Amino acid sequence: MQAILDNAKEKMERAMDALHNNLVEIRTGRANPAMLDRVEVDYYGSPTPVNQMASIQVVEGRQLLIKPYDKSLVKDMLQAINACDLGYPVQNDGDVLRINIPPLTEDTRKALGKDAAKVGEESKIVIRNIRRDANDAAKKASELTEDMKKDAQDRIQKLTDEYVKKIDETVKTKVDEIMSI
């Protein structure tokens, strides 16, 4: 029974990690170095993340300053960032790149809040599917008595409720962050 619970908890943790990764991609109107996590530059034949090739700083909360360790990579980084389509113009200042993040309009904030809520709902569906699989595994476990199966289902439900609550809190935090000016 404990193996079923441990397996379900591990899968739910991975679902939470996926939720965090998906929420990071939703912009908040503030500069965040994590915006560039997906951007990779071809560096001597292998794709390398920008954050491993440059220092990325947030300037005044609304601007990213990207300073490559190797000055010859500025043009390659510029092309890679533009190809990633962040939705922001990138300025080449010779040795550094600047990305200015404009403030969000009220309508954009509301739409992004809905996107965050949608990501949260998708995560809840994943959690519920994990619960269903764990309950099925508990029902099929021949070594468990009926009382143990019922106990396992109760514990799986408590675990599910705990993770659904975490998802709600995480999404609420993100929506609050989006809606703040």
Residue ranges and CATH numbers for the domains of the chain are 2-25+105-179 (1.10.132.20), 33-100 (3.30.1360.40)
Higher pLDDT pick, 61 / 151: 151
pLDDT exceeds 90 at position 125: yes
For residue 72, CA distances in Å to 51, 66, 75, 95 come to 16, 13, 7, 9
For residue 87, CA distances in Å to 81, 90, 179 come to 10, 9, 19
- When pLDDT is averaged across residues 138-157 and rounded to a whole number, the result is 88
Higher pLDDT pick, 19 / 36: 19
pLDDT in tens, 59-69: 887 888 999 99
pLDDT in tens, 77-103: 888 888 887 778 888 888 899 988 888
Residue 16 — pLDDT band, cuts 50, 70, 90? very high
Most confident range (mean pLDDT) of 84-98, 104-118, 159-173 is 159-173
64: three-class secondary structure by DSSP: strand
DSSP code per residue over 101-133:
-PPPPHHHHHHHHHHHHHHHHHHHHHHHHHHHH
- When pLDDT is averaged across residues 162-174 and rounded to a whole number, the result is 95
Asked if 81 contacts 90 with a C-beta cutoff of 8 angstroms, the reply is yes
Nearest to 39 by CA among 64, 14, 8, 63: 64
In percent, how much of the chain has pLDDT > 90?
Answer: 36
pLDDT exceeds 90 at position 32: no
Average pLDDT over the chain, rounded to an integer = 88
Return the minimum-mean-pLDDT range out of 20-29, 59-68, 98-107, 140-149: 20-29
In percent, how much of the chain has pLDDT > 70?
Answer: 99
Give the C-alpha separation, 100 to 65, whole Å.
9
Measured from the Cβ of residue 141, the count of other Cβ atoms closer than 10 Å reads 15
Give the C-alpha separation, 121 to 132, whole Å.
17
Asked if 113 contacts 172 with a C-beta cutoff of 8 angstroms, the reply is no
Per-residue pLDDT at 181: 65
